[in-house]
Amino acid sequence: MRRERSLDLIDAQAGGDVSRVVTAGIEPIPGTTALEKARYLQREGDGLRRLLLSEPYGDPAMSVDLIVEPGHPEAQAGYIIMEAMGYPLYSGSNTICVATVLLQSGMIEMTEGLQDVVLESPAGLARVSARNVDGRVESITTQGEPAYVAERGLSVDVPDYGRVEFDLVWSGAYYAMIHAADHGFDLTPDEQIALTAFGDAFVRAARPGLRQEHPALGDVGPLPFAHFMGRVRTLENGKVESRSATYVHPGVICRSPTGTGTSARLALMAGQGDLGPGDTLETISPRGNRFVGTVLGEAMVGDFPAWHSTITGGARLLAHSRVTVDLDDPLVDSSDLEKLLSP
C-alpha cells in the first residue's frame, strides 16, 4: 500500500515573513494547553517542523503554525509556533498571520470593524484586535505576555569580531539586544549577508552558560535570537522610529522587524526611562518593512519588572494548498511523522 498523507496549509506573510498555517491533516496532539502540546511535538514529533521548513517542502526562513484546540476557556483557538531554531513560545509576526488566517478562512467568524479575538500561544494568551474592512483583515494589534530585561551589561568575545556587549531580554523568547552601530551596521538591505554571519558567530559564542530559565515557563532552551538595534530617530510629527534586524539561529535574518524583537526593544527602552505608557516605537527591518510597538504599562514576571505592550502590523494571504506527504520518500523523515499525520 502507498503510504501517503496530506496536509492543508494556508500561507500568509506579515512584514515579509512567511507563516505556513497548518489547518488540517494532523491528529490531536497530546496535552491540554498549547504549551504542553508544543513540548510534546518538540520531544516526540519534531519531524513535522523539519518537513515543512526544509527542502523540498519548505524553506528555513519560513515559520510553521499548527492550529490546535486551546486549553484556556477564554481562547477561541490555540497555535504552536515552529521555526528554524525550534519552538518559540510566542511570536508577533506569527500571531498576526495566524489571526488573519483564522478570520479570513472562516475558522473564526469575522465581523466588520474592530473585532477582539483571544488565542492561546505556548507562552499564554494573545489578545488580538483585528480591524476588518470589506471582508479582509486590514491590521492586527496583538498583546502577548509581558517582556522583561533579564540581564544588562553582558559581553562575550566572538571569534573574528571581538568583544560584543548586549542585554538579555525575554519577550516570548530570549533576545540578545545589540547596538548595531557599535559593530559598523546601518541595517540596510546590502548588509544582510554580513549580519547573518555576525549573528551566527555571536549566538554560538554567547550561548554557553547563558540563562535558559523563565520564572513561569521553566527551561526555554538556548539563546535563539539576536536583535540588532539601530539609532532612534524622532520625526517632526513626534513619532519615534528605529531600524532593526532580528537574526534567528541558525542562519536567518527576518524580513520583518519581528514583533517579539520590537517588544523586547520596548521593554529595554521603558526600563531605561526612554519610553513610557502610551509611547510608540516604529521598527523598520533591513527590507523596509514596519511594525508599530506601543508601551501599555508595568507588570511583574517573577521578580523581574516587566512591561506590557502591543504590536501592530498587517498580514496578507499568499496561498491555500494541500501538500502530499509520501512516507516512503527517502527525503521524508517518517520516523515520528506517521503517528502525527491523519490517515
Model pLDDT for residues 199-208, shown as the tens digit of each residue: 999 999 999 9
Q: What is the mean pLDDT of the chain?
A: 96
Alpha-carbon distance of 341 to 343, in angstroms, equals 6
Q: How far is CA 245 from the centre of its chain?
A: 13
Selected residue with higher pLDDT from 1 and 142: 142
| pLDDT-derived band at 2, boundaries 50, 70, 90 | confident
pLDDT at res. 333: 84
Q: Which amino acid is at 234?
A: T
| pLDDT of 343 higher than 90 | no
Q: Is the pLDDT of residue 70 over 90?
A: yes
Identify the active-site residue in 63, 91, 93, 121: 91
For the stretch 146-185, pLDDT in tens is 999 999 999 999 999 999 999 999 999 999 999 999 999 9
Decide if 6 is catalytic.
Answer: no
Share of the chain above pLDDT 70, in %: 100
Q: Mind listing the domains of the chain with CATH numbers?
A: 4-144+317-326 (3.10.310.10), 147-312 (3.10.310.10)
* CA nearest neighbour of 279 among 244, 305, 306, 240: 240
Cell readout for 82 is 515552529
pLDDT at 1: 64
Q: Is the pLDDT of residue 42 over 90?
A: yes
pLDDT digits (tens, 9 = 90+) for 111-155: 999 999 999 999 999 999 999 999 999 999 999 989 999 999 999
Residues with Cβ within 8 Å of 98's Cβ and at least 6 positions away in sequence, in order, are 19, 21, 65, 67, 77, 79, 119
Question: What secondary structure does DSSP assign to 280-337, as a single string?
Answer: EEEEE-TTS-EEEEEEEEEEEETTEEEEEEEEEE-EEEEEEEEEEEETT-TTS--TTT
pLDDT of 267-307, one tens digit each? Answer: 999 999 999 999 999 999 999 999 999 999 999 999 999 99
The residues with which 322 forms a beta bridge, in sequence order, are 8
